Structure 1
């Protein structure tokens, strides 16, 4: 008879203990994991209790503790930054690091949003979207709204930051620790932010470039498909160079999240706001994560 265990999530500082508190009792758990990432691993609404995150909804076949370094707004570009991510890097590599059973990474989505948010006045190779005067009057498909030069720049950027993360991981005892990252479930650009201080994210950019409302969904889906393809290419290239390493892309695009209504400015489908799922949506994502993570633990 199988038993399910909800993953226990702890803050990075708790791993080492504070004051008179010693190291966290990792030996009480079958498995120990390290997580780094964005709001899909942390907070996606204001107040935070309105929704959840992937890790909070994760159930596994072994008891597991996850040290979570994620926070909202993080980009893959900064997840292994030697200045701002000292605690994560301390946990990952170096003399006081731990040997983890798996590393969980949620990154790339904010990098994509930041690139898509670059305005129309920027050079064509520095933005993902085309101005109306740069594209056909009626683009044949979603790709017709995207800058090929800008996407090439983004590919180079993400490749460089991915390589930096791999290099940091390779500099310590976790150099071959199984590492999982994920693509992003298709989202619908709409006027739905996370409270008064954040978002919406893609909707203002699409409006600024004059993309017709009826095409917002298809353009967003094309961006997510391209990000998925890019992440898989990066993983495949690394595995070809180092076949002994284990890198996995969790397919959240197949998790079956119900799309939001593009006219809704609040909760709709499985989405709390434009880019963050509801609690039920995160439960679906966590099922996809479990399917990929369980066999590696």
Structure 2
């Protein structure tokens, strides 16, 4: 098996640029902190790309970089290298695009408070959780805490942005090539943030949101599961619609068995480095399974295309 060889956009512009033609599969990657190459993130909780392996030699140009680029889908203006390499007519013909995104948007939606700074109630369609006075019947289980109007808003947002990414792909020489997204694993809401605020958010992320909404602690794990499974179903439904989302392939990470973090723990626990980031063992488990999914698609439905030198 061959570990995924990872390069940066800067590597392509260097005097000693890598020879991408020596690889069977050439991928373009962009995403959130699960793809980040920041040293503190790699040392702390790794990333999925560095744990991916393929039978055929495979490389990826990772545009996620060392910062928080594309922490949200609408931040494409902060990722000019990715947009250029994806849509520029003179760019490389990529065999596929790897995306890690949507999770931070879900967290942000869950963090939206029930009241704004002026004390006014935030409309249900603008948040994912319900205030105590809005909870449904106990017979509904943890779904009684969940805002379906807010989920509809989030779903429309995600669909719109993924369609935009597919449009960018089809503007360039990699038109029609597969675009791969992964679902997320189910985090345990707990007081486990990042050690370094340079990671973008110090965290924890879900834990204070669920506390602010006064959700019973006994239901926190189930609420987290509900939200992550909603996202997984949304992504899979998009991949099942080739008319609206041509060439989109989604890997269901929720099916990968992970060791959950211990409730109430504040450090690395199970397969989790902190509340929402996997540690090396967690990344290893999901990345190896996702690698198989990606290579099966590449091998079964697509052939390698000639490579053009990226414009410098």
**CA distance in 2: counterparts of 1:220 and 1:294, whole angstroms:** 30
Displacement of 1:74: 2.8
Aligned to 1:8: 5
2-side partners of 1:285 and 1:256: how far apart? 9
Gap runs ≥5 in structure 2: 116-121, 300-312
Matched with 2:146 is 146
Contact 2:4/2:52, CA 8 A, preserved across alignment: yes
Could you state the TM-score of these two structures normalised by the residue count of structure 1? 0.90
Shift of 1:42: 1.7
Q: Contact 1:41–1:53 at 8 Å: present in 2 too?
A: yes
1:27 CA displacement:
1.8
Work out whether 1:41 is the aligned partner of 2:29.
no
Confirm or deny that 1:61 pairs with 2:55: yes
Equivalence for 1:74 = 70
1:39 alignment partner, SS class:
coil
Q: Deviations over 1:235-274 (max 9, x none)?
A: 222x1457xx432111211111111111110011110100
Residue in 2 that maps onto 1:199: 203
Q: Which residue of 2 aligns with 1:233?
A: 237
2:293 matches 1:263: no
Q: Secondary structure at the match of 2:6?
A: strand
Counterpart of 1:210 in structure 2 is 214
Q: 1:43 to 1:246 in 2, by over 3 A?
A: same
Partner SS for 2:257: coil
5+ residue gaps, structure 1: none
- What residue in structure 2 maps to residue 172 of structure 1? 172
How many pairs are equivalent? Answer: 286
Distance 1:241 1:84, change over 3 A: closer
Deviates more, 1:138-147 or 1:180-189: 138-147
The reply on whether 1:223 has 2:217 as its aligned counterpart is no
Q: Deviations over 1:99-152 (max 9, x none)?
A: 011111111101101111111112221100000111147463121111111111
Distance in 2 between the 1:137 and 1:108 partners?
30
Corresponding position of 1:89: 83
